[in-house]
């Protein structure tokens, strides 16, 4: 069971930008930070701009930032938007679908899954003790050999 890469990257972008909501970040910066495809990230960022999650600022020192405070963006709403489908099995082509009790059970399980994600916002996520953005920085000095 897996989320699409589109969802994975959308969550990463929102986490990245939630760490410093007022700063503009470029797609290049985020693509380098995560080590993921610039092109794919651009599509994800464009979708998030269109959906009203990000504001895009053009120009040399441009970039994107959150269009809403991170504490108002729920993980569940983003996953609902970015996933193509929550039909977990191939029921469309299955001949027993009209009599299948599994369809409603899977739906109930997906609802429980999303209900958990609805309880968290992007202000809740980067909450570990490690400073979130510092992970992307190279070590300031080489670690002594001994």
Which residues contact a second copy by CB under 8 A? 1-5, 7-8, 11-12, 15, 33-35, 75, 83, 85-90, 93-96, 98-102, 105-106, 108-110, 112-117, 120, 124-128, 130-132, 135-136
Considering beta carbons, is residue 15 or 24 the nearer one to a second copy? 15
Among 60, 44, 42, 33, CA closest to 5? 44
CB of 63 to a second copy, least distance (A): 19
The residues, ordered by sequence, that sit 6+ positions from 72 with a Cβ below 8 Å of its Cβ are 121
Handedness of CA 120, 123, 128, 132 (dihedral sign): positive
CB of 69 to a second copy, least distance (A): 17
Q: Is 13:48 a contact under the CB 8 Å cutoff?
A: yes
Task: Round to whole Å and give the CA distance between 143 and 124.
Answer: 32
Considering beta carbons, is residue 49 or 106 the nearer one to a second copy? 106
Considering beta carbons, is residue 29 or 83 the nearer one to a second copy? 83
């Amino acid at each position: 069971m897996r989320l699409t890469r589109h969802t994975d990257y959308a969550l990463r972008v929102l986490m990245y930008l939630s760490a410093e909501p007022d700063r503009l970040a470029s797609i290049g910066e985020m693509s380098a930070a995560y080590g993921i495809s610039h092109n794919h990230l651009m599509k994800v960022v464009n979708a998030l701009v269109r959906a009203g999650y990000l504001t895009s600022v053009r120009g040399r020192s441009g970039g994107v930032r959150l269009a809403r405070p991170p504490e108002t963006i729920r993980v569940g709403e983003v996953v609902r938007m970015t996933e193509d489908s929550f039909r977990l099995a191939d029921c469309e082509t299955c001949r027993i679908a009209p009599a299948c009790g599994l369809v409603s059970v899977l739906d109930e399980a997906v609802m429980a899954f999303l209900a958990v994600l609805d309880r968290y916002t992007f202000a809740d996520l980067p909450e570990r003790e490690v400073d979130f953005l510092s992970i992307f920085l190279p070590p300031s000095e080489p670690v002594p050999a001994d």
